Structure 1
Amino acid sequence: MEKDRMALETYETVLEHLRNKHIRITETRKAIIRYMIGTSSHPSAEVIYKDLLPDYPSMSLATVYNNLKVLVDEGFVTELKLCNYSTTYYDFLGHKEVHIACENCGKIMDFLDADIRDMYQEASKQTGYKVTRSQVMLYGLCPECQAKEAEI
């Protein structure tokens, strides 16, 4: 229940922010926001489109990309671009965590790094920048790909 309440509060916060910026709130935009808040994965625009299409048959892939761009521009969604992959993946409010991606299958996981605040402070101290967000990506092999490799 707590997670549902937090998701609803987050959803309302995003909508309020967009309204305050005079950004149109369409049904597809609301659906994409709900989708991004509710997913624990890092979907591509194509995955979001495929998942939402049954409920929004008039929605186009371009609509998904345009909505994701708005959410990226407003700081609610982060783009994740993996080395050796042309697909862009998206993460809702993912700029305070570290991502790890499988070099083989492209699966992305999050983990919280307790030292990331220290990294922000050190970066500020050395450069004079005020850090507003970060994107840290580690690469390796996920357990499933390790198991497949071990079978060979």
Structure 2
Amino acid sequence: MALKRLTRQRKAVLEVVKRAHNHPDAAWIYQEVRKVVPKVSLGTIYRTLEALVEEGYLTPITKAGEATRYDANLHPHLHLVCEACGEIVDLEVALPDLVALAQEAHPGVEVRTAEVTFRGLCPTCKAALKG
């Protein structure tokens, strides 16, 4: 999949998000991209993230009252949000086709995507509670 306009900023943003395994927000991405493209603006980061989501290169992770975070892992997977530190951990497990199940149960609706998030403790916070 090739980016429509492979600008230096787009390449930098996409690479930063792909390297990060912490599902970063725009502010964190901005700080990292500035190391490669020092004159990039925060507005450019937001516009670039929107374009990368629209083009299917990133998935936004939204939670009411919090900054949107971004995921470059496009394979079907679940997330665990740590209730202690807020880290988002990818959970690679086999998923049933939730969209097909929902549409079978409710034939009159058009379900386009499904999003499931677990809440609990990341390995670091779980270990801290035990120790």
TM over 0.5: yes
Identity of aligned residues (%): 33
TM-score by length of 2: 0.82
Q: Which has the higher helix share?
A: 1
Gaps of 5+ in 1: 1-12, 19-23
Specify the code of the residue in structure 2 equivalent to 1:81: T
Shift of 1:63: 1.0
Contact 2:61-2:68 at 8 Å conserved across structures: yes
Aligned match of 1:88 in 59, 64, 68? 68
Q: How many residues align?
A: 130
CA RMSD of aligned residues (A): 2.2
Q: Which has the higher contact order (CA 8 A, sep 6+)?
A: 2
Contact 2:80-2:90 at 8 Å conserved across structures: yes
Distance 1:130 1:93 in 2: 25
With 90-99 and 62-71 compared, the bigger mean Cα shift is at: 90-99
Specify the code of the residue in structure 1 equivalent to 2:105: Q
Distance 1:80 1:98 in 2: 11
TM-score by length of 1: 0.72
Distance 2:72 2:2 in 1: 11
Distance 2:2 2:20 in 1: 16
Specify the code of the residue in structure 2 equivalent to 1:77: L
Distance 2:126 2:73 in 1: 29
